[in-house]
Amino acid sequence: MDLIERLKLRSLLRFDPENGEIWLDEGRMLLLHTKAFGALRKELFDSLGVERARGLLVRMGFESGKKDAELVKKIVGNNSLEDIFLVGAEMHMLEGMVKAKLVNSEISLARGTFYGEFLWEYSWEAESQSQLFGIGKDHACWSQIGYASGYATAFMNRFVVFRETECKACGAANCRIVGKLAEDWNDPDYLRYFHPDNIVRELMELQEEVAQLRASLSNERTPGSLIGVSAGFRQAFDLLNKACPSAISVLLLGETGVGKERFARWLHDNGPRADKPFVAINCAAIPHDLIESELFGVTKGAYTGADQSRPGRFERAHGGTLFLDEIGEMSQAAQVKLLRVLQTGEVERLGDNQVCKVDVRLVAATNVNLQQAIADGRFRPDLYYRLATYPVLIPPLRERRADLPLLIDSLIEKHSLRYHKKVRGVTDRALLMLSKYPWPGNIRELENVIERGVLLVTAGGYIEIDHLFANIEEPLRKGEEIAGDGHLHEADDGSYGIGYEELLSEGFNLNTHEDRLLKFAVGKSGGNLTHAARMLGITRRQLSYRLSKRSETNALSWPD
């Protein structure tokens, strides 16, 4: 049995809704929205400046850690203090701050030595920082660092200081902290955060510090329509940005829905041809026998139905940019003519013997593995080498998790204007689900999901999970629930104490009982099938199927 179970720490947490109180043993606690606390945290940075805000958060967490250490000492009994020290990580999790995993510890109260290393998952501070500012360069978990330091200091009776070495707010997979005795750090600048600061004496410096804060914490958004701060996005964007001033042909690679046309438009809009035409064509959407006339133009009478002459996309894009999407689907005959145009800069309309000089920057895109297509004989290698002079790989959305909050905010703003509706954002649970979803359809799928959410949410509200997905359930996790006695208990595993012997007595009908159970769950949830499905322990799709089958067999009549 682990320490937290042996010490029965969960039993110390009590809810008293009648009096509006939450208690952890004898200490009163608060249940706060992380968004509200995140807003307060941002306000501190804006008003006090970076350094003072960090110090204030560290000292606030330090006091909280000391209080929890006093509580644990009170209930330790005959257990070893060295062992009980590790309960601090469990306390931190119990209070909803972070999931802490011990990596290494060397602690001796007798010798007065201390070293501790922990891995943090689901840090609320790192998540809040990322949501507000995107991925940046500065570590974010200041109050949690203070908590760990205060807790360890109270146990060691010596000044212990933790420091964050990796942070999710900086793009790391998780946060990592290391704790040592204060004198072992040999870093007086860092230790300043743990000592009170007289803000009045340096009030004149505040304005400069706020300006520095805004410069350091402002989102590093790219100009124009591209949004992202993740490492994969930045790598792709940096390549695109370097190609921008030149006329080099660019090949955009990536899965369907990653936004290749948006990248192509950014390249055009921010280059020297921005005042010239941007012409796009989807090579997969046009029949093979028409793609040549679309690209190169046609002369009247060139074939049956060609009743007038018209320019092709190359001529229309003269001086500007031509974007060939899904170029991997282009026919072999069109590939030959395209290669000639790229080599000579001359276009010849179908049915004509006159050539026309064109000045076009070519941007191509595909989700096809062109090297495999060459091996299969579907794509010309000489055309590939002409196009692949400057390839840019756009990462899929599942590899751009850090960009999700920024993309979601942008899409909510876009569709709020479209539907003339004010939407405040997404709930924390909805954001958690969006961040865990694999996004096979990439940004195109994300936009569709957010548009659905904006359409369904009540004006002035937050988009919830039920607004986002029609057929995908939120992954359920076991946890704790508040029972009637006001204590926190492990969630039930599904054993509800039903009298099975009684149910299986003579006359039992499984279909009838299932019908009644379905009707009861749907009624109890107010007709919300997602909530009803959760009560029944099945997915919404499974519930819909059962209801539809019963509607077919029972002619929509429910048993009383």
What is the SS3 string spanning 219-235? CCCCCCCCCCCCHHHHH
* E strands present in 109-214: 113-121, 160-166, 175-181
Q: What pLDDT, on the 0 to 100 scale, is given for residue 211?
A: 55
Q: What pLDDT, on the 0 to 100 scale, is given for residue 271?
A: 92
Q: What pLDDT, on the 0 to 100 scale, is given for residue 472?
A: 54
Q: What pLDDT, on the 0 to 100 scale, is given for residue 442?
A: 94
Q: What pLDDT, on the 0 to 100 scale, is given for residue 86?
A: 76
- Give whole-number Cα distances, 227 to 126, 129, 240, 379, in Å: 20, 17, 14, 33
- What are 269's two structure tokens? 């809009």
Q: What pLDDT, on the 0 to 100 scale, is given for residue 118?
A: 93
Q: What pLDDT, on the 0 to 100 scale, is given for residue 477?
A: 41
C-alpha torsion angle, residues 195, 200, 202, 205 (rounded to 10): 120
Q: What pLDDT, on the 0 to 100 scale, is given for residue 77?
A: 64
What single-letter amino acid sits at 348? E
For the chain, what is the largest distance between any 2 Cα atoms, rounded to a whole number of angstroms?
99
Q: What pLDDT, on the 0 to 100 scale, is given for residue 505?
A: 58
Q: Are strands 175-181 and 250-253 parallel, antiparallel or unpaired?
A: unpaired
Whether the CB-CB separation of 443 and 259 falls below 8 Å is answered with yes
Sign of CA dihedral 542, 544, 548, 551: positive
Other Cβ atoms less than 10 A from the Cβ of 178: the count is 18
The rounded average pLDDT for each run of 10 residues, N- to C-terminus, in the chain (560 residues) is 64 80 81 85 86 91 90 72 74 85 86 90 89 83 94 90 93 91 91 75 53 49 69 92 93 94 94 94 86 85 71 92 93 90 88 86 93 92 92 94 90 93 87 88 93 92 84 47 50 45 63 80 78 77 77 49
How long, in residues, is the chain?
560
Q: What pLDDT, on the 0 to 100 scale, is given for residue 267?
A: 94
Q: How far apart are CA 341 and CA 327, in angstroms?
A: 15
Q: What pLDDT, on the 0 to 100 scale, is given for residue 224?
A: 53
Q: How far apart are CA 293 and CA 289, in angstroms?
A: 8
Q: Which residue, among 211, 285, 204, 160, has the nearest Cα to 49 in the 3D structure?
A: 211
Residues ≥6 apart with Cβ < 8 Å to 240: 250, 263, 266, 267, 392
Q: What pLDDT, on the 0 to 100 scale, is given for residue 310?
A: 83
State pTM to two decimals: 0.62
Q: Tokens 């829905």: give the residue.
A: 257
- What are 200's two structure tokens? 């009045």
